[in-house]
Structure 1
């Protein structure tokens, strides 16, 4: 029959026998060659085996770092498009707080099991919003939105991912508490900027990644989240990309190492479509007033607002405690005339 004369078997495993047996992945095509005047008279067959071993290995690797849909689109690109390019992206870094202290009393297999379960949940959140898992750095994760394929709403995707990671962590910790294990705390930093993306590394080992000041700021925001007592910090670039959708508290203006211009940073509270407690609303209101006084060099009035937060609402609000300390210092030693409200972020 016509169906039998042309047969196609994609992604088949071919085992070769010889001095060294090996396996190859092939797309197998079998076409019969018949007499033109008598199609029932088949006198030969054409067998074509297309070796797709390298392509399959590449796909398998890519599926570990991105969704299948994104990987399939990426494989359609020409190789030169992966060689290096400047792109607008959002970079997300997350890290487990107090990881060393948390794991020092655990057995090796318990640490591995915990990390595997944790990473499984967090990476699913990244993939849910079409992000790319760039790399694991110990107990930290780096994810990129907008590379290798462009995404106009990369900042919004990164923000939604961070909130989903927060939600998933809550479920993850509930299971840990139920089995008498310590809950985890994480910090997340997000920055949106122009970065260089491409295949970077040695000729023996390369990986597709992103580099540049924009990436560095994302990593520093994740670290700074400890200073400000927040689980998610975002830069002003990320905030400006989706101000109508998110509720955020402007925490500070920071000057990162190697830079002179301050960058506004925000605590990501949640989505505007989701209600927050009146308690949290009061904290944000007093904090905003305190920041206005602070930037206007009215440090005594600023202390009153930050002090109200500590006394009435949250004695452990780290951002307010930091500003109280600064105000006390500036009352004794006023800042220079050209002070723009920026504060040096010393930690990397």
Structure 2
């Protein structure tokens, strides 16, 4: 059976389905709305802008607000709460919580001792929200500590302060039953600090940035990365006065293995966890936003209570009232649960159907387009946009000759195996496959490092694939990869009956030409100078040539990336690099007779290729011998003047 927590823990759940997932009990939403309207003076239309339910809908017994509506409601409340409004207003909002009249949920919590609610928080938190699960970490007569573990998808949707609201709710319940709450506070937060700033304070113009391991807010240090264990987070800041010392060390030791929660880091109390520690107090219009010493980006949020229990007479009176009201209340709750379950399973059936449809759709289109459809967009309405991208082309060499010896079924099987292997490497490095064209593919990347990483991974995957093919006595496959970077136009190309959301432009054409050049130089991966200039990670590469390709008026410098070569090949290329450079300088000056001699000496010392003795161990050397001989003959025949030779070879076919 699929539960709400399963949807919120599944990274493949579509945003549209997540938005329909039960998020917040209607009574909690009603209280938040009333608090915002009454205490904060927010206009009703501003508070419910973009929310699919109205305030009146929340009075329905057993009603739940969807995850999407809850997120919008919280963001509206933050944005409309005035210049001094901070995410901490959700704590006071929770502390003033009152259940709706005739509320079965309210009646239930009036009959259960508030201390038991805190101690058994894991059984009770799901009655008011589905964003996280909870556990009581420590409990005593004078206080308690609970931890709330966010589900990963909930953090993607939510600005963060739901745990402060839960803190306020529990405080209100304790006080309603006669507890004197001496302290209710948080020192550890399970949501992302930078995401909270952007979502909750973006309308204030707050901006963040990183320098080394320090997060800056408005140009000043805000927080630093720290490493600590789960146990240290569980104990951090717990009060240790004689009256409260029994809190320390009591409880189950944390939220199980923590794998369902943000970061999935909680499989060991001793394992180091990367968090952010706030370095200074931050205020907004005299209201505290962040306090020095607070911890964010933790795998859970922790709430600490210190209280004084009600007297004996008060507890006895409450005990008699509970015995009288509980049977009828349980019957009413069962009826409400049945109605809620029916609505929930309608949503689950929709989730399963649309998930299957999305899976099929993704197989036939690019990821970016599928994500847009999943999020509710209509791609046919997307306007053309200019952007800078890295474009990668990959092609199987000599595929025509190879396919002539295969049946149609074998050709399709070969292509499916090849594309499955290459596509996985591209997606692993955040690439988006734009199209498959016969035995060729085209992909796009946001950065050149992602594209080059993908190319190296594709070459290594091909080596594994070839080992398997050789073991089955099948011919080896070889590929060529070309990568360029620059401006492209992305948009819908086609007609009303057939359309392709793709990229076009000179950058795409250059990547295609570079891929075709790999056949001439017999190397696997060629990148342009624009790619080289934007690389941030160190690479094993070398200059190959300066050429003019078809469709380009200006020449381009091209480079081979050989990170995927065997170690001995990389060492050989690096050892002979000074001699390559000398031979190329002579070639560039137009002294082709001497260039032939220099390249021939390198060829003899490099030795033959391990798979083809007619080739050089470095095929580029043999390529330059043939080209220099061709140009030498043209000079000897008067067809080429060395004085007019500029060192640029033209590939115009």
Residue in 2 that maps onto 1:256: 549
Structure 1 residues 227 and 79, CA, compared in 2 at 3 Å: closer, same or farther? same
Q: Is the 8 A contact 1:287 1:320 kept in 2?
A: no
**Structure 2 counterparts to residues 79-158 of structure 1, below 5 A:** 82-146=382-446, 154-158=447-451
Aligned residue for 1:293? 586
Q: Does 1:207 align with 2:500?
A: yes
Q: 1:63, CA displacement in angstroms?
A: 6.8
SS of residue in 2 equivalent to 1:115: helix
Q: Tell me, in whole angstroms, the C-alpha distance in 2 between the residues paired with 1:215 and 1:185.
A: 22
C-alpha displacement of 1:82: 4.3
Deviations 1:126-169 (A, max 9, x none): 011100111110011111112xxxxxxx1111111111111110
Does residue 389 of structure 2 align to residue 324 of structure 1?
no
For residues 129-208 of structure 1, the aligned pairs below 5 Å read 129-146=429-446, 154-208=447-501
Specify which structure has the higher proportion of helix.
2
CA distance in 2, matches of 1:199, 1:54: 24
**Residue 219 of structure 1 corresponds to which residue in structure 2?**
512
Contact 2:391 2:443 in 1 (8 A): yes
User: Hey, what's the Cα distance between the residues in 1 that align with 2:371 and 2:418?
Assistant: 27
Of stretches 280-289 and 72-81 in structure 1, the one that deviates more from structure 2 is: 72-81
SS in 1 for 2:540: strand
Equivalent position to 1:335, from 635, 638, 641 = 641
Please say if residues 481 and 525 of structure 2, whose CA atoms lie closer than 8 Å, have aligned partners that are also in contact. yes
Q: C-alpha distance in 1, partners of 2:582/2:563? A: 20
Mark the structure with the bigger radius of gyration.
2
Q: 1:54 to 1:85 in 2, by over 3 A?
A: farther
Change (3 A) 1:253 1:137: same
SS at match of 1:106: coil
Cα distance, 1:116 vs. partner? 1.3
Q: Is the 8 A contact 1:59 1:71 kept in 2?
A: no
Q: Is the 8 A contact 2:592 2:631 kept in 1?
A: yes
Deviating more after overlay: 95-104 vs 308-317? 308-317
Residue in structure 2 matched with residue 20 of structure 1 by the alignment:
none
The answer to whether the aligner puts 1:37 opposite 2:64 as a matched pair is: no
The structure-2 alpha-carbon separation of the partners of 1:65 and 1:129, relative to structure 1 and needing over 3 Å to count, comes to farther
What do residues 63-108 of structure 1 show as CA deviations (whole Å, max 9, x unaligned)? 766679x965896697689422111111111111111211222222
Confirm or deny: 8 A CA contact 2:372 2:378 kept in the other structure: no
Deviates more, 1:170-179 or 1:82-91: 82-91
CA distance in 2, matches of 1:9, 1:123: 28
Q: CA deviation at 1:109?
A: 2.0
RMSD between aligned alpha carbons?
3.9
Q: Distance in 2 between matches of 1:141 and 1:115?
A: 11
2:457 and 2:378 map into 1 onto residues whose CA distance is: 33
Aligned to 1:22: none
In structure 2, what is the equivalent of residue 4 of structure 1? none
Query: In the alignment, what sits opposite 2:150?
Result: none
Deviation at 1:242, TM superposition (A): 2.0
Alignment CA distance shift 1:297-1:107 (3 Å): closer
Q: Hey, what's the Cα distance between the residues in 1 that align with 2:486 and 2:376?
A: 23
Cα distance in 2 for partners of 1:277, 1:344 equals: 28
SS in 2 for 1:260: coil
Q: Could you tell me the TM-score, scaled by structure 1's length? A: 0.77
**Distance in 1, Cα, partners of 2:536 & 2:601:** 27
8 A Cα contact 1:163 1:270, kept in partner: yes
Separation in structure 1 between the aligned mates of residue 386 and residue 568 of structure 2, nearest angstrom: 38
Aligned length: 319
- Say which structure is richer in strand: 1
Shift of 1:123: 0.6
Shift of the 142–251 alpha-carbon distance from structure 1 to 2, 3 Å rule, reads same
Give SS of 1:246's match.
coil
**Cα distance, 1:271 vs structure 2:** 7.4
Counterparts of 1:300 and 1:166, CA distance in 2: 36
Q: Per the alignment, do residues 101 and 79 of structure 1 end up closer, same or farther by CA in structure 2, a change over 3 Å counting?
A: same
Unaligned segments of structure 2, at least 5 residues: 9-16, 27-58, 62-99, 105-331, 608-614
Given the two structures, how large is their TM-score scaled by the length of structure 2?
Answer: 0.43
The yes-or-no answer on 1:344 pairing with 2:371 is: no
